[in-house]
Amino acid sequence: MGEPKLIDPFARAITYLRVSVTDRCDFRCVYCMAENMTFLPKRDLLTLEELDRLCSAFVGLGVRKLRITGGEPLVRRDILTFFRAMGRHLETGALDELTLTTNGSQLERFAADLAAAGVRRVNVSLDTLDADKFARVTRWGKLTQVLRGIDAAQAAGLRVKINTVALKGFNEDELFPLVDWCAARDMDLTFIEVMPMGDLGNEDRVGQYWSVRDVRARLEEHFTTLDLAERSGGPARYVRIEETGQKIGFITPLSHNFCESCNRVRLTCTGELFMCLGQEDRADLRAPLRAHPEDDAPLVSAIRAAIGLKPKGHDFDYSRQRPDGQVSRHMSHTGG
């Protein structure tokens, strides 16, 4: 592995690209989307070939990890052709990991093909093991469908990690059942603080906010935890529960800012590059991509210029009982 080729103004090497391949989803989770969403017209979306070219440019600039997100990435038509195309970078050694975050609804259908394309890990978003509560938080989802997807992923040899958004008054009572369920299935579990993104109508972000510091403190009333030095390339901090051996992650953009080690940028399905999840700054990569179909040099220059504008950090803050630092776009637009 050579020297990193993308260095931001704060001497952070950018080696991790999160790519939203669609803004569409078959769920309408209350903290992520409005129930009646207006989705982007098809002409605004990058084609799968354009996504391939863009991601390949980033790989050529030293990105070692690609995480595919959405919306729900597996609802994008012919998405497996994109995963197979990215698999060539795994074969050459230019890419260390190709992975995805999914709601699990389509995993039963796609798990075996994803494994064949080189995917080894998937993150599944799951906030509750109660079918009625699941239907309520996702609005349109069916828990049984997701559980079958997780079964299929494990049967295909994929390592599954569960991502749970900590929601006050919603899943506080499921903290230990979720930990026990994941331990029984040999799955790691990460708790995520709800982030102030998008205008979701009547959703009360301050009311939803359950500090992950509190989650950890509650866990430590019953378990012995050991801090782990390992990092997955993302913002999570990990502990191991000695009684079960499982790994628990905590993503705390509000109660603990993780920006100092940020090594990632986010590409949307329209070709916008967001240098920070919690800022509005963005760069248009679709324009140079389409203006120069046979020449990647202008695209590479645009990527380098964007990385040169990456901010030091975000401004999320609930401490004054309002979601300070809120950004206007929905999480589904940026890809989490």
Closest CA to 323 of 213, 192, 214, 204: 204
> According to the annotation, is 161 in a ligand binding site?
yes
209 assigned binding-site residue:
no
Look at residue 251 and give its three-state secondary structure: strand
Q: Is 266 annotated as a binding residue?
A: yes
Contact 187, 162 (CB under 8 A): yes
Q: Is 88 annotated as a binding residue?
A: no
How far is the C-alpha of 248 from the C-alpha of 179, rounded, in Å?
Answer: 8
**55 annotated to a ligand binding site:** no
Quote the CA–CA distance of 183 and 198 in Å, as a whole number. 34
Q: Which among 161, 165, 160, 278 has a CA at the least distance from the CA of 215? A: 165
Q: Is 67 annotated as a binding residue?
A: yes
Angle formed by the axes of helices 297-307 and 48-60, nearest 10°? 70
**Residue 182, annotated as binding a ligand:** no
| R_g of the chain, CA atoms, integer Å | 19
Alpha-carbon gap, residue 52 to 83, rounded angstroms: 9
Residue 262 counted as an annotated binding residue: yes
- Reference 167, options 206, 202, 221, 123; nearest CA is 206
Is 255 annotated as ligand-binding?
no
Was 160 annotated as part of a binding site?
A: no
Q: Is 25 within any annotated ligand binding site?
A: yes
**Residue 265 DSSP SS3:** strand
SS3 sequence of 216-241: HHHHCCCCCEEECCCCCCCCCEEEEE
Residue 217 token pair? 């403190």
* Residue 47 marked as a ligand binder: no
Binding residues for [4Fe-4S] cluster: 25, 29, 32, 259, 262, 276
- Give the residue ranges of the annotated binding site: 18, 25, 29, 31-32, 67, 71, 101, 125, 161, 195, 259, 262, 264-266, 276
Give the residue numbers of the binding site for S-adenosyl-L-methionine: 31, 71, 125, 195
Specify binding-site residues for GTP: 18, 67, 101, 161, 264-266
